[in-house]
A and B are shown apart, each in its own frame.
Chain A
Amino acid sequence: MEQVQKDFDNIIRTSNFSKKEVEIKQEFLKKFLEKGFPNRKQENWKFSDLKQIISKNINEISFYNDYSVSNKIDTSLFVDELEHNKIVFINGRIEKIDFNYENKDKVEIIDVLNLEKNLNDINSLIELNNAFTNKCYKVLIKSGYSLKKPLIIYHITNDKVISKNINLRLDFELEQNSSLRLIDLFKDNSEKNFLNIFYNFDLNKDSILKNYKIDKSINKNIKYSFNNIEQDKNSISETFVYSSGSNFLKNEVNCNLNGEFSSAFINGIFKLSDDKQHEIKTNINHLTENTKSYQLIKSVLENNSRAVYQGKIFVNSKAQKTDGYQLSKAILLSESSEFNAKPELEIYADDVKCSHGSASGSLNENSIFYLMSRGLNYQQARELLINGFLLDVIEKITDSEIKNLIKNMIGVKE
């Protein structure tokens, strides 16, 4: 932990933060130093002990990043089957913000260090993030405007970074009746880094947010991604997570349904093999009447991999007529794979409809037999079943353009 303080001082010396910013950063650093990396003693991290994972995968982690030199953008990494707006992060540095397809006066990029927002008690990683992020941009979508093209955020790392902690943060505000489609794409060419990503979304009345996170390329990094979503009346948020490539990835979504008739949808796929350990943790807080949430998580686990789903639905006493649903299903394909779930309900209102289901097990031998008796070999039968199992989640994606893109990307057939 001495390293943290040293690297922090180093950053403060070399960058030009205002005095006030430095003070706030120091406050966050102090809080992080008190708590350290989360470990299994905290209920939230019971199944995946980050402290242990970091010390196992990264020997000496460094918190210092030099953001003064720009990186060359490798355009071959861009998606070319879909016209889109771009934000490009390379090794944690913002290299490009491009909203060429949109009305200039409808999308605003604001350079803020809006750190005062009181989110410190969530966990120590948010504090780490706030202490070390060098830039924080806010994307503001003006009222009544829907982005013509989706926004893709590229998270690129290359072999220049190793054993680093990279923090990045973005804020989004969707004004009344606006909408945003956002895809996070992870392209890693580095290893042994710890990426700590924090997004904050403010959804005003009638706005729609769709966020798709695709972690597909195989890499040896450790990632933590936190989405905080505040939802006003009639707003809709849809989050899709494809969790597959990194050594460790934890996606956490905290969603506050503050306004009536707001709804949140979270769908996720774990497709893991080879010692990978991934987690999805959701917190849906139903805070007022007539709100709705739906979660569907499916896992396919091979060779020694491990998936964790912790889903929580909280309904406070004001939130009558809440409709909450969680379903998690897992297929364990190998002896040594493991699936842990903690689908939690905490309910203080009586006129609610809340339920959850969780099932885990092996592939159904009867179904395989059925397919093989119709001429498929074992491997084909197995693939067909897994394909169908995952397709269920893909079909939940409401945007057909992006649905097709994701289908092609992860190789799930219709």
Chain B
Amino acid sequence: MDNREKEIENLKDYKYGFSTDIENTRAPKGLNEEVIKFISNIKKEPQWMLDFRLKAFERFKLLKEPDWQKPKYPKIDYQDLYYYSAPKSMDDKPKSLDELDPKLLETYKKLGIPLQEQARLNGIAVDAVFDSVSVATTFKDELTKKGIIFCSISEAIQKHPDLVKKYLGSVIPITDHFFATLNSAVFTDGSFVYIPEGVKCPMELSTYFRINASETGQFERTLIIADKRSYVSYLEGCTAPMRDENQLHAANVELVALDDAEIKYSTVQNWYPGDKDGKGGIYNFVTKRGLCKGKNSKISWTQVETGSAITWKYPSCILKGDNSVGEFYSIAITNNHQKADTGTKMIHLGKNTKSKIISKGISAGHSDMTYRGLVDISSKANNSNNYTQCDSLLMGNKCGAHTVPYIKNKNSKSNIAHEATTSKISEEQLHYCQQRGLNSEEAVGLIVNGFCKEVLQQLPMEFAVEAQKLVGISLEGSVG
């Protein structure tokens, strides 16, 4: 085998497995007030932001790392991580895409997101996050005309302090759980979206995240506010280079929907899951929460989770406004030694609130998958409704599929319905497909795609295609 073949062989295991050499500006290793001040200083943040971070850090010191989750992981030494790193060429902010580090642009090309073309062709404004700092934001002009603010959160802190001050931490308070509080203290960058009153965002907003620089925990912070009668659809997609060390990713995503507003948040997550023996891979401990603050508001989460060594997240909806709606559509696929503990929380507080949960879990290889969800209808939430369906598919007897729903109904005028099934792909189905000329892998791909269809349909077009392929790729080698 010559060198080239070997190289290709190496790349094959993980489609997006490569990393670029860019010098990093790093904060000193470890977690303390100095590091937080360093981050705040380098981002030229106002005093109130630093206070927010320090307050969170004070709180963080009192908190204990949770351990009730199903997937266990080796203890993380929080003092042994870098909390800030940025591509060096960012020190002088580029004025246009041409000024970008050519290596950076190269990386995007390999990922299949040539920034300019994709943005223009697809009509998507791409806010690409390379490591921790937003590198380029496109389509700004078109959005600005409508009064839409779509920028990095650091920029928003500088330019729109009132909005950030009002909403940051209003859904995920700094007193929340361990990882959310950690994020509040040390978050580096992320996206900020504000849709003004009555505006329907003309395009899908999208951020591509990429984890680079080894040993860097990524702490993204996303804040999306949809003002009265507005609509926005937001896409988040992730790929990451191959790594041996485990990397922590603890992002916070906050959504706020005011009266009659609607937010649709879609995620395709395909971070490095570790190799076949479960070595390496990303720890994806994300806090996502949406607040339906106003009347008739709606928040819809759609996620396709195929990557990461450990996925541990529960995108939630707090249905505070009367007649508000929360939705959660999820596909989670685990293979090899991947572990996932995911689900949602639907907290019904307002009257006539509705929620729907469709969760599809597929586990193969030695992996473990848990659906964990909460539906809580409070005593004041009259005439509320919930429907939950969670289905699991098992491939092989080395993997596990678990369902842990918590169902609380405190209101006699409200209804909750929940169903769950666990099964495997039947021999008949496989036989039927193979008889018609598909090989066993194609057959499994087809059946699994059918199993997931309800959720895939919820994704925006561009994502649906990618996600469908991803479902197939993730299960490669799990049959036979």
- Whether the pair B402, A353 counts as a contact (CB closer than 8 A) is no
B406's nearest neighbour on chain A, judged by CB, is: A342
Give chain B residues whose Cβ lies under 8 Å from the Cβ of A350: 394-397, 399, 424
- Whether the pair A347, B394 counts as a contact (CB closer than 8 A) is yes
Give A59 to B126 CA distance when docked, in angstroms. Answer: 65
Using a CB-CB cutoff of 8 Å, which residues 359-405 of chain A contact chain B?
359-362
Give A133 to B407 CA distance when docked, in angstroms. Answer: 36
Give A346 to B420 CA distance when docked, in angstroms. Answer: 12
Using a CB-CB cutoff of 8 Å, which residues 340-366 of chain A contact chain B?
340-362
Give A384 to B394 CA distance when docked, in angstroms. Answer: 43
A322's nearest neighbour on chain B, judged by CB, is: B422
Does A334 count as interface, using CB distance less than 8 angstroms?
yes
- Whether the pair A338, B420 counts as a contact (CB closer than 8 A) is no
Give chain B residues whose Cβ lies under 8 Å from the Cβ of A358: 405, 407, 416-419
Give chain B residues whose Cβ lies under 8 Å from the Cβ of A351: 397, 424
Give chain B residues whose Cβ lies under 8 Å from the Cβ of A339: 407-409
Which residue in A337, A347, A355 is a CB contact (below 8 Å) of B401? A347
Does A336 count as interface, using CB distance less than 8 angstroms?
yes
Does B321 count as interface, using CB distance less than 8 angstroms?
no
Give chain A residues whose Cβ lies under 8 Å from the Cβ of B405: 341-344, 358
Give chain B residues whose Cβ lies under 8 Å from the Cβ of A161: none
- Whether the pair B397, A362 counts as a contact (CB closer than 8 A) is no
- Whether the pair B420, A361 counts as a contact (CB closer than 8 A) is no
Does B170 count as interface, using CB distance less than 8 angstroms?
no
Give chain A residues whose Cβ lies under 8 Å from the Cβ of B414: 361-362
A23: min CB distance to chain B, Å: 35
Interface centre among B405, B409, B410, B411 (most CB of A within 10 A): B409
A344's nearest neighbour on chain B, judged by CB, is: B404
Give chain A residues whose Cβ lies under 8 Å from the Cβ of B407: 339-343, 358, 360
The contact string, 1 if C-beta is below 8 Å from chain B, for chain A 290-331, is: 000000000000000000000000000100100000000010
The contact string, 1 if C-beta is below 8 Å from chain A, for chain B 361-385, is: 0000000000000000001000000
Does B398 count as interface, using CB distance less than 8 angstroms?
yes
Give chain B residues whose Cβ lies under 8 Å from the Cβ of A340: 406-409
Which residue in A332, A345, A352 is a CB contact (below 8 Å) of B411? A332
- Whether the pair B400, A346 counts as a contact (CB closer than 8 A) is yes
Which residue in B406, B409, B424 is a CB contact (below 8 Å) of A338? B409
- Whether the pair A355, B421 counts as a contact (CB closer than 8 A) is yes
- Whether the pair A344, B403 counts as a contact (CB closer than 8 A) is yes
- Whether the pair A360, B404 counts as a contact (CB closer than 8 A) is no
Does A335 count as interface, using CB distance less than 8 angstroms?
yes
Give chain B residues whose Cβ lies under 8 Å from the Cβ of A345: 392, 401-404, 420, 422
Using a CB-CB cutoff of 8 Å, which residues 400-446 of chain B contact chain A?
400-424
Give chain B residues whose Cβ lies under 8 Å from the Cβ of A139: none
- Whether the pair A361, B416 counts as a contact (CB closer than 8 A) is yes
A354's nearest neighbour on chain B, judged by CB, is: B422
Does A43 count as interface, using CB distance less than 8 angstroms?
yes
A344: min CB distance to chain B, Å: 5
Give A25 to B85 CA distance when docked, in angstroms. Answer: 60
Give chain B residues whose Cβ lies under 8 Å from the Cβ of A359: 415-418
Give A355 to B218 CA distance when docked, in angstroms. Answer: 38
Does A333 count as interface, using CB distance less than 8 angstroms?
yes
- Whether the pair B395, A330 counts as a contact (CB closer than 8 A) is no
Give A341 to B388 CA distance when docked, in angstroms. Answer: 13
B413: min CB distance to chain A, Å: 6
Give A334 to B416 CA distance when docked, in angstroms. Answer: 16
- Whether the pair B412, A335 counts as a contact (CB closer than 8 A) is yes
Which residue in A43, A330, A342, A347 is a CB contact (below 8 Å) of B409? A330
Given contacts A346-B400, A355-B421, whether A361 and B415 have CB atoms under 8 Å apart is: yes
Give A112 to B272 CA distance when docked, in angstroms. Answer: 59
- Whether the pair B392, A355 counts as a contact (CB closer than 8 A) is no
Give A378 to B202 CA distance when docked, in angstroms. Answer: 54
Given contacts A347-B401, A349-B397, whether A355 and B422 have CB atoms under 8 Å apart is: yes
Give chain B residues whose Cβ lies under 8 Å from the Cβ of A347: 392, 394, 400-402, 422
Q: List 26 A-B contacts (CB under 8 A).
A: A43-B68, A317-B398, A332-B412, A334-B412, A338-B408, A339-B409, A341-B405, A341-B406, A342-B405, A343-B407, A343-B420, A346-B400, A347-B401, A348-B400, A350-B394, A350-B396, A350-B399, A351-B424, A353-B423, A355-B420, A355-B421, A356-B403, A356-B418, A358-B407, A359-B417, A361-B409
Q: Can you add 20 more A-B contacts, CB < 8 Å, to A342-B405, A358-B417?
A: A332-B412, A338-B408, A339-B408, A343-B405, A343-B420, A344-B403, A344-B405, A345-B420, A345-B422, A346-B400, A347-B394, A347-B401, A349-B397, A350-B397, A354-B422, A356-B418, A356-B420, A357-B419, A358-B418, A360-B415
The 8 A-B pairs of least Cβ separation, nearest first, read A361-B415, A332-B412, A350-B394, A345-B403, A358-B418, A341-B407, A355-B421, A360-B409
A interface list, Cβ under 8 A from B: 43, 317, 320, 330, 332-362
B interface list, Cβ under 8 A from A: 68, 379, 392, 394-424
